[in-house]
Amino acid sequence: MTDNISISPLMYKMMPWIAAVAFFMQTLDTSILNTALPSIAKDLNESPLNMQSAVISYALAVALFIPVSGFFSDRFGTRNVFVMAVFLFSSGSLLCALSSSLIMLDISRVIQGVGGAMMVPVSRLALIKSFKRSDFLAALNASTIPGLIGPVIGPVLGGYLVEYSSWHWIFLINIPIGIIGMISGWKFMPNIKGGLSRFDLCGVFFIAIAVISATLGLEFINEGLNIYFSLSLILLCFMLLSLYVLHARKSSSPIFPLSLFNIHTFRIGIIGNLISRLGISATPFLIPLLLQVAFGYSAIYAGCMLIPMAIASLTMKTFVPPILRRFGYRRVLMTNTIIVGLIIMAMSLLNKDSSMILFGVLLFCLGATNSLQFTSMNSITLADLPNELTSSGNSLMAVNQQLAISFGIACGAVLVRIFSYQAEMVTQDITHAFKMSFIILGTFTCFSSLIFRCLYPQDGQNLTVKNKSN
């Protein structure tokens, strides 16, 4: 698994937390920026409508470099690539804080995005290659805990910094975290390399442009821009993916071997990740909007309302391994996906006069079930990958997750926009738009549980069997 690299017991203890630092930095940055965009626009003498380029430039950089993260790790080693990725992310953050124009901010966000594209996939790859399959679930579980806090505290922290300090601090807070990540990564992460193969330039081109096309198309849909141009970009994505399949069949070393999809658990995990995440990814995007736009809460108050989700996510992590060990991946994913869908649908019951207890219970349940869902889907996807396919499989899962999140947010935004227009025409009540969106997204999520029915009852047993030697 580790190519004869000696890994000390301290390394084994530290590596999940190193991965956790990367995950936390990425999720915090993603969730904190939107709160500060109006303030940044004012300071840079730009229209708030133009500030979306700062979000798009980061998303494009991430989309471009995620596919090659596995190849770089195999060529230069996990430790070297991880430390460089954190350095680029931290340097980009510093440049963002120093930006005096929108163009400089966009360039800085690209640098930040290059680092952000590789931090999480490379740290997770180090876990896959270092830990036995029986220990991998616990390591992956521990590495995701801090990352679950980022999306919850991001809006609160962003609102607080903008209101009481300066927008520059939303980027500067990444610097000390990045320094910790670089030092700990260099000291405790093994520099695991893979088998060297020819760089698949043609395949990377097809995949990168396809992902960029999908990212731009979804971002334009999310912003309510030209729908026909957006759909054309998404169509271009599918055409390029088809060309990649033709290319991969002939290539001796494709960036993503098609043999990955011969692995049953990987195939189901990838499809399940993509489809079930549509509703799951849209909900955290819609809830703060519901609280602020429909119910009139402040950004800080709305952010505090999401704290039960963070508490539930952290609490559930302790119970994920025994739950999977007791019931198995197939039963857990089928059942939990339906529960998540029902909770999303239950969000439609909320209104401004709803009890705080009801708010808290629903958000707590959503946080707990999401936590179980993500760990289960991610670990089963990687469960049966042979060593020679771990780098490409891990990178493809990262690309898939990025697209799933973008698709989910776009779906949520489009649904709210459609029903908002109807509400303006009939009732003038925008709350109705959110209610209908939650019902549709929840229903879709429930039906996506059928994907996990294709798993076999014994799938994932190599991850849940306790290591007898420990």
Asked if residue 466 and residue 436 are part of one domain, the reply reads yes
Decide: 99 and 105 in contact? Cβ < 8 Å: yes
3-state class (DSSP) for residue 354: coil
Give dist(CA 258, CA 39) in Å, integer.
Answer: 46
Percent of the chain with pLDDT over 90: 26
pLDDT given at position 425:
45
Compute the Cα dihedral for 80, 81, 87, 91 and give only its sign. Answer: positive
Q: What is the CATH number of the domain that holds 300?
A: 1.20.1250.20
DSSP letter for 292, please.
I
Give dist(CA 447, CA 293) in Å, integer.
Answer: 29
Q: What pTM, to 2 d.p., does this model score?
A: 0.80
User: What DSSP letter does each residue of 422-454 carry, written as one string?
Assistant: HHHHHT--THHHHHHHHHHHHHHHHHTHHHHTT
As for how many domains the chain has, the answer is: 3
Asked if residue 459 and residue 316 are part of one domain, the reply reads yes
Residue ranges making up the domain that contains 240: 202-252
Distances (CA, A) of 47 to 168, 217, 269: 18, 22, 42
Domain boundary among 252, 284, 315: 252
Give dist(CA 310, CA 145) in Å, integer.
Answer: 9
pLDDT at 272 > cutoff 90? yes
**Other beta carbons less than 10 A from residue 421's beta carbon:** 11
Mean pLDDT of 309-328: 86
Asked if residue 361 and residue 421 are part of one domain, the reply reads yes
Tens-place pLDDT, residues 135-175: 777 777 777 766 666 666 676 777 677 777 788 888 998 99
Decide: 394 and 341 in contact? Cβ < 8 Å: no
Tens-place pLDDT, residues 276-297: 988 888 887 788 778 877 887 7
Asked if residue 402 and residue 318 are part of one domain, the reply reads yes
Decide: 431 and 351 in contact? Cβ < 8 Å: yes
Domain boundary among 214, 235, 252: 252
Asked if residue 333 and residue 246 are part of one domain, the reply reads no
Asked if residue 285 and residue 210 are part of one domain, the reply reads no
Asked if residue 160 and residue 15 are part of one domain, the reply reads yes
Tens-place pLDDT, residues 400-452: 887 887 788 778 888 887 887 655 544 556 788 889 999 999 999 999 999 99
Distances (CA, A) of 368 to 156, 280, 364: 20, 12, 6
Asked if residue 192 and residue 323 are part of one domain, the reply reads no
Asked if residue 141 and residue 221 are part of one domain, the reply reads no
Give the confidence band of 314 by pLDDT, cuts at 50, 70, 90.
confident
pLDDT given at position 428:
54
Asked if residue 417 and residue 336 are part of one domain, the reply reads yes
Asked if residue 412 and residue 299 are part of one domain, the reply reads yes
Asked if residue 312 and residue 222 are part of one domain, the reply reads no
Mean pLDDT of 168-197: 86
pLDDT given at position 222:
65
Six token digits for residue 415: 């649904």
Distances (CA, A) of 355 to 358, 360, 441: 5, 9, 23
What amino acid occupies position 175?
I
Domain boundary among 150, 174, 197: 197
